[in-house]
C-alpha cells in the first residue's frame, strides 16, 4: 500500500535444498506464508506453534500446496519458558543443523496478563511473573535464540530474523523502564507492544556486536517491519480499544503475501551475505531503514541483554546463560 516498489519477490528466493528453518507462529498470518514459500523452495521447515491442531493443519496445507513433505510441526508455546526449552530439545534431537531462525510469532495490544513463568518470590513484586506481550514477543524469543545459537553458529552461513514493527516508533514518546516492564500499574497495551518491538531490534544490535567481538562471521542477525498486514493480529485488542487499529488490520492493510516479503528477503536472499547485512532494520519491501534512537542505542541493547539474562536465570534455574 504506502510503501515503495518491490525490491524482492518470492521468485527471488533461492533454492533452499539442504537448509533447515524454524518459523515461530507459522500456523497463520505472515508466518504461514513464509513457511509456505520456504517449503516451495525445498527447505526443511519447522512450523513452531502453540496449538497442535492449528500447527498440524498448517503443515498439511503447506505440504499439499508445495509438494514438499519436509515440513514438520513442533510444539512451541512462547508463554511458557518450559515449552521453549522442550521445543529446543526436541528440535536438537531431530536436527543437527539450523540455517534460518525466523522469530515471527507475536501478540499485539493484549489486555494486561501474565505468562505462566516465575513463581519464585523476589523482593520486587514486578518480577513475580512475566507480562504477556513482553513474554511472547521478547523473553521467549530471546531464550529460544540463545538455546539455538550454538546450532546456528555450527550451521553458518545462517540467519536470525526478528520480526519487529514500526509500532516501535512510539519509544520516541515514551521509553521503557525495564524494572517496571511486568507491572500492571502504568500498563498501556500499545505502549507495551511498542516496547517489545523495540526490544526485537535491540537484540539484533547486541547479538551482532557480540558475534563480531567473538570473530564469528556469517551469522546474519536482522530485524524488520512487515508492513500493515491483514492478519489475525488484531484479535487480541479488546472491543473497547482502538477501533482504528482493528479496522485497518482487518480491512485495508496489505495482504500477508506482501507482508512476508521483507522478512523473506532477510531470511533467504543471497544479497544479505553479499552485502554483509547485519544488525539492520528493514521495511517493506525489503528496504533498509533506520529504527528510532531508543532501538538503535548500543547502551540500551546491552542493558536489555543483561536484564533478560538476569530474568532468565531467575525463572529457569538450569539456564546456563547466553552462549556468547
Core vs surface per residue 99-114: b (16+ CB within 10 A) or e = bbbbbbbbbbbbeeeb
Residue 265 known to be catalytic? no
Strands 158-163 and 219-224, sheet pairing: parallel
Q: Is 241 exposed, middle or buried (0-12, 13-18, 19+ CB in 10 A)?
A: middle
Task: Examine residue 81 and tell whether it contacts ligand NAP (CB under 6 A).
Answer: no
Closer by beta carbon to ligand NAP, 149 or else 233: 233
Q: Which of 29, 118, 176, 279 binds ligand NAP (CB under 6 A)?
A: 29
Closer by beta carbon to ligand NAP, 146 or else 209: 146
Closer by beta carbon to ligand NAP, 184 or else 235: 235
320 Cβ neighbours under 8 A, 6+ residues apart: none
Task: Examine residue 228 and tell whether it contacts ligand NAP (CB under 6 A).
Answer: yes
Task: Examine residue 284 and tell whether it contacts ligand NAP (CB under 6 A).
Answer: no
Task: Examine residue 37 and tell whether it contacts ligand NAP (CB under 6 A).
Answer: no
Closer by beta carbon to ligand NAP, 152 or else 228: 228
Of 53, 128, 64, give the one whose Cα is nearest residue 314: 128
Containing H/E element for 112? none
* Contact set for ligand NAP, span 97-116 (CB under 6 A): 104-108
Closer by beta carbon to ligand NAP, 78 or else 198: 78
Nearest approach, Cβ of residue 213 and ligand NAP (Å): 28
CB 206 within 8 A of CB 142: no
Distance, in Å, from the CA atom of 322 to the CA atom of 74, rounded to the nearest integer, reads 23
Task: Examine residue 23 and tell whether it contacts ligand NAP (CB under 6 A).
Answer: no
13 Cβ neighbours under 8 A, 6+ residues apart: 37, 38, 40, 41, 264, 268, 269
User: Residue 288 forms beta bridges with which residues?
Assistant: 282
Q: Which of 71, 76, 160, 277 binds ligand NAP (CB under 6 A)?
A: 76
Task: Examine residue 222 and tell whether it contacts ligand NAP (CB under 6 A).
Answer: no
Task: Examine residue 171 and tell whether it contacts ligand NAP (CB under 6 A).
Answer: no
Alpha carbon distances (Å) from 18 to 15, 100, 153, 267? 9, 12, 16, 15
CB 177 within 8 A of CB 225: no
Stretch that binds ligand NAP, among 34-42, 44-52, 208-216, 284-292 (CB under 6 A): 44-52
Q: Which of 16, 47, 203, 253 binds ligand NAP (CB under 6 A)?
A: 253
Given the residues 143, 193, 294, 305, select the one marked as catalytic: 193
Lookup: cell for 232: 489475525
Closer by beta carbon to ligand NAP, 20 or else 237: 237
Residues labelled as active-site residues: 193
- List contacts with ligand NAP (CB under 6 A): 25, 27-31, 49-51, 54, 76-79, 104-108, 136, 163, 165, 225-226, 228-229, 231-233, 249, 253
Amino acid at each position: 500500500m504506502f510503501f515503495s516498489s518491490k525490491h524482492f519477490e518470492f521468485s527471488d528466493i533461492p533454492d533452499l535444498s539442504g537448509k533447515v528453518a524454524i518459523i515461530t507462529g507459522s500456523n497463520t498470518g505472515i508466518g504461514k506464508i513464509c513457511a509456505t514459500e520456504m517449503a516451495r523452495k525445498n527447505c526443511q521447515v519447522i512450523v513452531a506453534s502453540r496449538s497442535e491442531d492449528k500447527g498440524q493443519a498448517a503443515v498439511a496445507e503447506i505440504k499439499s500446496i508445495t509438494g514438499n513433505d519436509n515440513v514438520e510441526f513442533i510444539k512451541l508455546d512462547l508463554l511458557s519458558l518450559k515449552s521453549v526449552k522442550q521445543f529446543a530439545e526436541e528440535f536438537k534431537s531431530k536436527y543437527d543443523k539450523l540455517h534460518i531462525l525466523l522469530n515471527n510469532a507475536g501478540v499485539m495490544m493484549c489486555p494486561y496478563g501474565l505468562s505462566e513463568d516465575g513463581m519464585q518470590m523476589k523482593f520486587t513484586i514486578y518480577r513475580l511473573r512475566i507480562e504477556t506481550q513482553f513474554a511472547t514477543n521478547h523473553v521467549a524469543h530471546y531464550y529460544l535464540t540463545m538455546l539455538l545459537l550454538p546450532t546456528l553458529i555450527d550451521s553458518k552461513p545462517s540467519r536470525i530474523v526478528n520480526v519487529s514493527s514500526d509500532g516501535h516508533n512510539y519509544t520516541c514518546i515514551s521509553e521503557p523502564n525495564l524494572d517496571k516492564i511486568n507491572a500492571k500499574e502504568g500498563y498501556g497495551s500499545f505502549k507495551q507492544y511498542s516496547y517489545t518491538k523495540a526490544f526485537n531490534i535491540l537484540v539484533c544490535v547486541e547479538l551482532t556486536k557480540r558475534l563480531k567481538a567473538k570473530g564469528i562471521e556469517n551469522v546474519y542477525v536482522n530485524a524488520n517491519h512487515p508492513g500493515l498486514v491483514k492478519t489475525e493480529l488484531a484479535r487480541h485488542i479488546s472491543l473497547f480499544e482502538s477501533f482504528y487499529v482493528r479496522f485497518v488490520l482487518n480491512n485495508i492493510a496489505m495482504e500477508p503475501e506482501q507482508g512476508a516479503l521483507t522478512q523473506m528477503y532477510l531470511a533467504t536472499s543471497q544479497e544479505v551475505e553479499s552485502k554483509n547485512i547485519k544488525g539492520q532494520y528493514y521495511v517493506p519491501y525489503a528496504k533498509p531503514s533506520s529504527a528510532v534512537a531508543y532501538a538503535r542505542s548500543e547502551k540500551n541493547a546491552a542493558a536489555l541483554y543483561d536484564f533478560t539474562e538476569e530474568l532468565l536465570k531467575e525463572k529457569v534455574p538450569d539456564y546456563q546463560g547466553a552462549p556468547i
